[in-house]
Amino acid sequence: MSRIGKKTIVLPEGVTLTVGKDNVVTVKGKKGELKQAIDRDITVEVKDGQVHITRPTDQIRHRAMHGLYRSLLSNLVKGVTDGYERKLELIGVGFKAANTGNLLDLALGFSHNIIFEVPKELKVATAQEKGQNPTITLEGIDKQLIGQVAAKLRGLRKPEPYKGKGVRYVGEVVRKKAGKAAGK
């Protein structure tokens, strides 16, 4: 058995999980509703406020999907109860971030500002405090969507290895290289 797959998911109070036709799981909670399609071989059962995921055989394919779908469903449950948050910081002279609604205006050292439209499912906030690097905060209920948008934002100006300038996740450590003067 998969170690992760055999763990049960405890449904918090106010969260409902239903399995519809074509094995589409719908999770509803106080923050919203999320859906996830499940492979037809994997069975999802809800008993006494707990979700059990089982697989039919020990084939490699079934073993791989067992833990995957358990993690995906667990993420859905956490998303509709608590939500997810991802913070990015802009490190560099003149780097700025401002938002109006879900439009993000980024000054990242290019000749023009970058206008980035954040999906309407996510909330975006920017902060610029004196003496601190500008930060961008993404909030929402869909973990996959937040990760994808954060990766796209980071990809606009990845941290470079010499001075560390660029867009990075808060807490991310960038390994720095020595410049060419250190080689002599």
pLDDT in tens, 101-116: 999 999 999 999 999 9
Decide if 9-81 and 84-169 have a common fold.
yes
Which pLDDT value is given to residue 181? 78
Structure tokens at 124: 């975006």
Return the CATH superfamily for domain 9-81. Answer: Ribosomal protein L6 (3.90.930.12)
Smallest CA-to-CA distance from 31 within 126, 121, 136, 145 is with 121
CATH 1.10.3720.10 fits 84-169, yes or no: no
In the prediction, which pLDDT does 6 show?
Answer: 87
- H/E stretch holding 35: strand 33-37
> What pLDDT score was predicted for residue 2?
66
pLDDT of amino acid 182: 64
Question: What tokens were used for 162?
Answer: 């010499």
| Measured CA distances, 40 to 23, 25, 34, 43 (Å) | 6, 12, 19, 7
51-80 pLDDT, tens digit each: 999 999 999 999 989 999 999 999 999 999
Torsion 167-147-13-29 (CA) sign: positive
Q: 146: which 2 tokens?
A: 């937040």
The CA distance from 10 to 29, in Å, is: 13
- With a CB cutoff of 8 Å and minimum separation 6, the contacts of 6 are none
Ranges of residues in the chain whose predicted pLDDT is under 70: 1-2, 182-184
Residue carrying structure tokens 């918090």: 12
Asked whether 134 and 95 are in contact (CB, 8 A), the reply is yes
The Cα 74–Cα 79 span in angstroms is 8
Structure tokens given for 158: 């990845």
Where does the chain show beta strands of DSSP type E?
9-10, 16-19, 24-28, 33-37, 43-47, 50-54, 84-91, 96-100, 103-107, 114-117, 123-127, 135-140, 166-169
CA dihedral sign, ordered 159, 173, 94, 140? positive
Q: In this predicted structure, what is the pLDDT of residue 183?
A: 58
User: For the chain, which residues make up each domain, given as ranges?
Assistant: 9-81, 84-169
Q: Is the pTM of this model over 0.85?
A: yes
